[in-house]
A and B are shown apart, each in its own frame.
Chain A
């Protein structure tokens, strides 16, 4: 079974631009979560989607948004990029009916904002 796939692996943008990151969960996993990792703040929860609906949301400004498609693939979008948005963005998938409460993470998208 293929793991969680995130694209692109690296991304360089300039302030004010917007960016879209993509995540394909493990086949059969209908829950996708997004996390931001920075050296200063560590790992922080952005949001979680299940069956195309946002179920949980972390404490991030409205510039951070996401969506999930009917095939469970998810995208997150950051508009009006700021230097502080430079981070590793991690996607994780979860199978609520699988009996195991653990997240499977992708390798992440490293976003650099110049």
Chain B
């Protein structure tokens, strides 16, 4: 069953704009991760935020986590055409490679 639910399901923006995706989950978590998938290929890990963290940055990515609301957001700044992909949040209540529970993803399209 899906734990995470991303919002919106699809997002289309102009190159150079910022893109924000949200994720909600249902149970307590150990950490939350964001992955990117290009055209039905494998997933690429973007960033991990632990349950005791509120915000994390990596390059053009900014992730926030609100455990009281069971939600997270992923911000991609200064978007590029190469950012066109599907983005998934994934949660685990354990650690390591305990089965991740993925949301259904946000499909992001960057218009040149």
Contacts and interface: CB of A to CB of B under 8 A. Distances in A.
Q: Helix, strand, loop or mixed for chain B's interface?
A: loop
Interface stretch (A13-21, A68-76, A78-86, A106-114): A106-114
- Chain A interface extent, by class: 20 to 34
Between A59, A101, A104, the greatest number of chain B beta carbons within 10 A of the residue's beta carbon is seen for: A101
A4 interface: yes
A27 B1 CA distance: 31
A30 to B, nearest CB: 10
A96 B102 contact: no
A9 to B, nearest CB: 10
Interface stretch (B16-24, B59-67, B69-77, B92-100): B92-100
A33 interface: yes
B44 interface: yes
Contacts of B110: none
Given A45-B99, A48-B98, A107 B45 contact: no
B42 interface: yes
A42 to B, nearest CB: 5
Given A102-B48, A105-B42, A107-B41, A48 B99 contact: yes
A103 B41 contact: no
A96 B97 CA distance: 8
B100 A45 contact: yes
Contact of B41 (A94, A100, A104, A108): A108
A11 interface: no
Given A43-B90, A56-B98, 16 more contacts: A4-B42, A41-B2, A42-B104, A45-B101, A56-B97, A94-B96, A96-B97, A101-B48, A102-B45, A103-B43, A103-B97, A104-B45, A105-B42, A106-B42, A107-B42, A110-B40
